[in-house]
Structure 1
Amino acid sequence: MQRLMIADGSDVVRKVGKRILAELGFLVAEAASSEEALGRCQLELPALLIVDAGMEGALDLIQNVRALPNGKSVRIYYCVIEADLKKMMLGKRAGANDFLLKPFDRKILTSVFAGLGVAA
């Protein structure tokens, strides 16, 4: 089972995302802040990380995860509210692999993550 972390300041976003992604076969952890997410990553690195672009310290979180041992192996999704090219480029420069548009729903998460949850 793949480990995935959702780092988002919204309780609702984390809970909904966790429920959907757990159904897809992920072992999902949650973090309400960049600091909490980094602390959890230092203890146990997830295979996938969803980072909310609106969260304070989001870009620093991505850079800090990349700097961890094996941090380059984490697939990081930078979650943006709109397709803002400037914000997306900042995420890419910080080390994000891909992007998710918020608000996400079951259809979006399933199309992006289906098949990855049980992959080794």
Structure 2
Amino acid sequence: MQQAQVESEKEKLTQLEEYAEQYRSEKNLIGLNAFLSTNYQHFVDRLGQAIVQQKQQIARVEQQSNFVRHQWIKARGKTESMDWLKKKHLTSEELVESKKEQAQSDEFAMQRFLILKNT
């Protein structure tokens, strides 16, 4: 989700840059009087400011995305650690249960042997 936002912001920047370039190119193609040329230049300057602001927005969104990704990796590591501990505990319990069952089986076999031997 964060990466999609980064890509969206980059797309906005690309559009702004293309728009600004288009206006710069058109200025050379059309003849403007001094007043219109000044207004035109102010507009192009505002586009330049918008581009700078968009680059700052991309930097903020990328920083936020990196933070979220780092938090996710950290949380995933904790989850994996807990899963490992849980598995280890279950394996330990299974081993204890297996030994208990083996002891019961051995005891039962010994009792049968003694019963059969005494008869």
Q: TM-score, normalised by structure 1?
A: 0.17
**Greater relative contact order (Cα 8 A, min sep 6): structure 1 or 2?**
2
- Which structure's CA Rg is the greater one? 2
- The structure where strand makes up a greater share of residues is 1
- The structure where helix makes up a greater share of residues is 2
